[in-house]
Amino acid sequence: MNDPRAGAQCERLRQRQAGGLRAGQARLRRLAGPVQVINGKRPRYRSVVFDLDGTLADTEPLVLGCMLETINRHGHAVDEELLLKYIGPPLPVMLNNMLGLSAEQAHPIYMDYLRRYEDVYMPQTRPLPGAESLLDALCEANVPLAIVTNKREDAGRKTVELLDWTDQFETIIGADTASDPKPHPAPLLYALEILAGEPESAVMVGDTESDMGAGRNAGFAGVIGIVGVRDEEYLRRFGATDTAGDLAGVQNLLFDS
């Protein structure tokens, strides 16, 4: 069910993100036209919202490595197995859920993580197999795309720029763009507003329960979970309507044959 606060948050988001990626002329032309049938296949949805890390970008080992290094350096003994149980929300929320740290205690760890990730880990980012062909197919079919990530907006934008995907997306929404990140529906609904779409013809694609919950809470017609960090049963429990093992499988779910 949609959160009643989502509409008010969308208005605040509009004020904060004026002049964002949607200003690109080529992307506005794509928004203006109807979806296209490509190679005999018609898109099943008129708007697609993607998560970024672990969904399109092969960042899971980078994120986990940087988190482990940073958290342990601050005196908290954690391992990858523990991190994987809590990954999905922004790091300060993870630190609270995992270690019981307050926002004040988590802040220096988070800031250290952001600096380290941008300087050392982010330059190693690569697309996941199938990401570029999937994005190309959707853009060729004139389907407008957005990213909603639980990393900071500036980090999301830098990642997209590094992968040379800026022209593929109308907007990038980060955890700090909205007062409530995924699984709250507001970031998805704002992205959908920029795409000139409706929940009834939109799909969310992600790999964690935060993504599944956000799509469900926003009332999206489809919520596709990529099995990996979480298994199929777990993703469906949190709202997935379909699951896929990789992005080739996602592409099959996004197009009618």
- 87 and 153 in a single domain? The answer is no
Is 51 assigned a catalytic role? Answer: yes
| pLDDT tens digits, 134-168 | 999 999 999 999 999 999 999 999 999 999 999 99
CATH number at residue 50: 3.40.50.1000
Helix (H) or strand (E) holding 49: strand 47-50
Indicate whether 168 and 67 sit together in one domain: no
Is residue 1 one of the residues assigned to a domain? Answer: no
Beta carbons within 8 Å of 226's beta carbon, 6+ residues apart = 54, 55, 205, 206, 207, 243, 244, 245, 246, 247, 249, 250
Residue 191 and residue 91 share a domain: no
Structural domain total, the chain = 2
Structural domain span for residue 176: 6-58+127-256
Structure confidence at residue 1 as a pLDDT band (50, 70, 90) = very low
Longest distance between any two alpha carbons in the chain, whole Å: 57
- Do 83 and 101 share a domain, yes or no? yes
Catalytic residue among 3, 51, 180, 231: 51
233 to 35, 227, 248: CA distances (angstroms): 32, 9, 20
Residues 6+ away with beta carbon under 8 Å from 118: 155, 158
Q: How confident is the model at residue 32 (pLDDT cuts 50, 70, 90)?
A: low
